[in-house]
């Protein structure tokens, strides 16, 4: 979490936050504050994670706008799979995945999605006191834990009613689109006192956390019609929010 005099920046993992944090630190210099702690989306979180949630924003920041980044969740699934971010999971998560898939870590996308649903989501739900469920997907659970004012109450409602309107459970969050991150970040900072410096820094800043080859694959070819239909239903809470806010291209 980054705190400036102008806003609070929440860092939802694997959405472009490494780039954004680096840009903001250069622009704001010594006036920016970074708060680290346990990532509530990860039952095995290290104590110095930058991925802190709405429920962890200090009370002294209550009047500041909140900004974060939204990434198309189908694209995010593909990225987590292609670049094998699951290899960074806790050993107990990897052991459970290996029990499901003897070919681990050489997983197909469908197998990775199964791991996310049956292993990672189950571990997160149980850490919060919930039984495993197929009613909502892993990313919707993560999103609720990260952005809801009262994550447990919101999660209970989302499990019962996957057509939940998450806007009723969240503070106002200005979402920058990962697909247009430089432009959205420039536009957002254009209304702050650092507007002039921000435009120059963002335009010149190098890409961070991209593949070694620089390849940026389109996500759609990786999804079969059946998988897309299944996960469109499972991830309805987040997809409905994205549609309401005009976040998906």
| Relative orientation angle of helices 138-147 and 151-160, to the nearest 10 degrees | 150
Q: Report how far residue 50's alpha carbon sits from residue 37's, in angstroms, rounded to the nearest whole number.
A: 7
The tokens of 31 are what? 């006036």
Q: According to the model, what pLDDT value does residue 209 have?
A: 65
HEC profile for 29-93? HHHCEECCECCCCCCCCCCCECCCCHHHCCHHHCCCCEEEEECCHHHHHHHHHHCCHHHHCCHHH
The three-class DSSP label of residue 8 is strand
How far CA 215 is from CA of 14, 79, 204, 212, in Å, comes to 16, 11, 20, 8
Would you say the C-alpha torsion 124, 128, 133, 137 has a positive or negative sign?
A: negative
Q: Which among 186, 120, 133, 139 has a CA at the least distance from the CA of 159?
A: 133
Reported as half-sphere exposure (CB side, CA atoms, 13 A), residue 98 has a value of 9
Cis peptide before 179 (omega within 30 of 0): no
The tokens of 210 are what? 């991209």
pLDDT in tens, the chain (249 residues): 999 999 999 999 999 999 999 999 999 999 999 999 999 999 999 999 999 999 999 999 999 999 999 999 999 999 999 999 999 999 999 999 999 999 999 999 999 999 999 999 999 999 999 999 999 999 999 999 999 999 999 999 999 999 999 999 999 999 999 999 999 999 999 999 999 999 999 999 988 765 443 445 689 999 999 999 999 999 999 999 999 999 976
Is pTM, for the whole model, over 0.85? yes
Q: Which element (helix H / strand E) includes 175?
A: strand 173-177
Which residues have a Cβ under 8 Å from the Cβ of 225 and sit 6 or more positions away? none
Q: Which among 40, 1, 26 has a CA at the least distance from the CA of 173?
A: 1
Q: According to the model, what pLDDT value does residue 216 have?
A: 54
Strand order in the sheet with 8-9: 33-34, 2-3, 8-9, 66-70, 173-177
Q: Are 143 and 34 in contact (CB under 8 A)?
A: no
Q: According to the model, what pLDDT value does residue 151 have?
A: 97
């Amino acid at each position: 979490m980054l705190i400036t005099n102008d806003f609070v920046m929440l860092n939802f993992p694997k959405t472009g936050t490494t780039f954004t944090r680096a840009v903001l630190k250069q622009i704001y210099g010594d006036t920016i504050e970074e708060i680290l702690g346990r990532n509530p989306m990860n039952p095995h979180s290290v104590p110095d994670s930058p991925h802190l949630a709405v429920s962890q924003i200090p009370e002294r920041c209550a009047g500041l706008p909140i900004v974060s980044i939204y990434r198309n969740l189908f694209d995010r699934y593909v990225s987590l799979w292609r670049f094998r971010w699951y290899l960074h999971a806790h050993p107990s998560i990897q052991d459970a995945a290996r029990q499901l898939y003897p070919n681990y870590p050489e997983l197909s996308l469908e197998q990775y999605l199964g791991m996310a649903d049956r292993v990672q989501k189950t571990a997160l739900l149980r850490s919060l006191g919930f039984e495993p469920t197929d009613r909502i997907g892993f990313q919707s659970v993560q999103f609720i834990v990260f952005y809801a004012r009262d994550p447990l109450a919101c999660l209970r409602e989302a499990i019962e009613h996957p057509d939940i309107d998450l806007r009723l459970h969240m503070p106002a969050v200005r979402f920058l689109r990962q697909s247009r991150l430089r432009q959205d970040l420039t536009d957002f900072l254009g209304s702050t006192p650092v507007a002039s410096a921000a435009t120059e820094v963002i335009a010149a800043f190098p890409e961070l956390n991209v593949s070694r080859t620089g390849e940026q694959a389109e996500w759609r070819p990786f999804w079969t019609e059946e998988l897309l239909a299944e996960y469109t239903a499972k991830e309805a809470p987040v997809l409905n929010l994205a549609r309401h806010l005009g976040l998906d291209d």
